[in-house]
Chains A and B, each alone.
Chain A
Amino acid sequence: MKTWMTAGALGACLLVAACADPDAEQRTYANSDLELSPSYRAAEVCSCIFVMGQDEDFCNRWTVANPNVSTFRVDHEKKTVESSAFMMWGARAKFVDEKTGCVFED
């Protein structure tokens, strides 16, 4: 498990480096794609399923991002979506009600 995690972290670091835009001169934020991707996925898949009323397959395709490094899991009973990248970065969104839609839980 430890070896797997180390390999995952190494892979993730390489991915971050690969995803960096060499031409960017602007101020940059501290969030790597490994943080942005699961939180985008959790929020938008949650809205896609519980607000827009679409199914998981559609929402999976609708939220494909570049780089596409996150997976997600839907709990229809609790109305939550958890998304993660390489088991190290993750986010969770919950459907609140018919006015508020989905909100991050973490």
Chain B
Amino acid sequence: MGCPIFTAVVLTALVLLMPFTAKAQSCPSRSDWPTEAWPDRIQETATRKAAEIQALEDYAFTRIGKDEERLGVRTDGVVIIHNGAIVYERYVAPYGPEKRHIAWSVTKSVTSALTGLAVGRGAVSLDDSICDHLEIPKPESCQVKLGHLLVFSSGFDWTELYEDKSNQASSVLAMLYGEGRRDMARFVAEHRLRDTPGTTFMYSTGESLLLASAVQEGVQKTFQKGDTFPWEWLFDPIGMKTAVLEKDAKGHFKGGSHLFATPRDFARFGWLYLNDGCWAGQRLLPEGWVADSTTVSEPFRTASLDAGSEPQGRKWWLNRPVPEQGLPTRPWPDVPADAYAARGHWGQSVTVIPSLDVVVVRVADDREEGAFELNRFLSLALAIVEAP
């Protein structure tokens, strides 16, 4: 018979250690992490998959018309990651592996990640009102919570139009370049509430910026790291050394639109999500954050949608059918159902496909509406990584 006190101490220690053991086990184990550099299998793939690469390039890299007309598919660069290595990479001059590209709305998915990091550290809660973190002159707007902003359901009367539509009707142009440009978060929050927060879905650059601003202030209040936390908690740990996240004149991150990085660094961000928010065995995003972010959001499933809306999670585009909203098929039918993407204006995308261990990054300058088809591009890209 052993000593009962000793047994009790050992059992207690095991029980106390269990959560930590479980957490460590929940992160995928990989031998290499691309914090410094991506392993390179480009040449090997080029030899093995010449026909598939040609088909991808015929579609993605064939330009039409005069350069100044900006017609058709205008890819600036593609990076494909498979099993932790670069298997394909190509750029069109003047872009290259060292040149940053604008992410436009891919930034929104990064803001979603930054929100997760701040929630995980207790700096903010999704139940917080925006007024808990920002000076909002309109009391009505205090009904809006960070959780609403994360899934595009603030209810603000916002018009998400870009250039060449109706410039004076665009809330986005007014925020970035017009009357809102000096204090963008305030500009967004001064809009009237058209709907009760949480009851509608409307894609909005303003909401994403407002969320980034509130999170930034929350982190500043708790950790005094409002200006540095994106690098300290996200970009630096995953080796995203080229990340530039611009601010408005008030000092708030333009979290809906103005992240810049190289395609290889955007791939690192995708790789973080493919690995459930873990990097090099360490959990960066809270457990469950990636799963929640890549599940069709409640407002998208239940609220009335604008025509042409595609399934969204927490600022990620999802390859899921949503039959209850009249969307019975996946938006990218030739791509595995578990695919999800960060997407931006002019054709930017970071697509993550966990079942294939693949991340596909595309940076582009597509100005002709409807010219580029993500489904076709991804199906051609995936042919490169399929087993022979």
> Could you list which residues of chain A lie within 8 angstroms of chain B, going by C-beta atoms?
19-21, 23-24, 26-33, 35-36, 39-40, 43, 47, 51-55, 58, 61-62, 64-66, 91, 98-105
Residues of A contacting B97 with CB < 8 Å? none
Q: Are B244 and A20 in contact (CB under 8 A)?
A: no
Residues of A contacting B365 with CB < 8 Å? 62
Complex: A32 Cα to B173 Cα, angstroms: 11
Q: Does B245 contact A (CB under 8 A)?
A: yes
The 4 closest A-B pairs by CB, nearest first: A31-B178, A29-B174, A101-B246, A21-B166
Chain B, residues 258-293, CB within 8 Å of chain A (1/0): the string is: 101000000000000000000000000000000000
9 contacts between A and B (CB under 8 A): A31-B167, A36-B173, A39-B177, A52-B99, A52-B102, A53-B99, A100-B247, A103-B246, A104-B248
* Residue on A nearest B165 in the bound complex, by CB: A21
Q: Are A27 and B159 in contact (CB under 8 A)?
A: yes
Residues of A contacting B164 with CB < 8 Å? 65-66
Q: Are A31 and B173 in contact (CB under 8 A)?
A: yes
Residues of chain B in range 124-166 having any CB-CB distance to chain A below 8 Å: 157, 159, 163-166
Q: Are B168 and A20 in contact (CB under 8 A)?
A: yes
Given A99-B245, A101-B244, A26-B159 contact (CB < 8 Å):
yes
> Could you list which residues of chain B lie within 8 angstroms of chain A, going by C-beta atoms?
67-68, 94, 98-102, 157, 159, 163-171, 173-174, 176-179, 181-182, 231, 243-249, 258, 260, 365
Complex: A39 Cα to B168 Cα, angstroms: 14
Complex: A74 Cα to B16 Cα, angstroms: 61
Residues of B contacting A105 with CB < 8 Å? 249
Complex: A11 Cα to B246 Cα, angstroms: 35
Residues of A contacting B247 with CB < 8 Å? 100-101, 103
Complex: A55 Cα to B99 Cα, angstroms: 12
Residues of B contacting A61 with CB < 8 Å? 67-68
Q: Are B167 and A19 in contact (CB under 8 A)?
A: yes
* Residue on A nearest B157 in the bound complex, by CB: A27
Given A21-B168, A24-B168, A52-B99, A31-B177 contact (CB < 8 Å):
yes
B178 to chain A, nearest CB (A): 3
Complex: A4 Cα to B245 Cα, angstroms: 41
Given A51-B100, A61-B68, A103-B167 contact (CB < 8 Å):
no
B318 to chain A, nearest CB (A): 28
* Residue on B nearest A100 in the bound complex, by CB: B247
Residues of A contacting B166 with CB < 8 Å? 21, 23-24, 26, 28
A66 to chain B, nearest CB (A): 5
Q: Are A43 and B177 in contact (CB under 8 A)?
A: yes
Residues of B contacting A47 with CB < 8 Å? 102, 246, 258, 260
* Residue on B nearest A43 in the bound complex, by CB: B177
Q: Are A104 and B181 in contact (CB under 8 A)?
A: yes
Complex: A39 Cα to B248 Cα, angstroms: 13
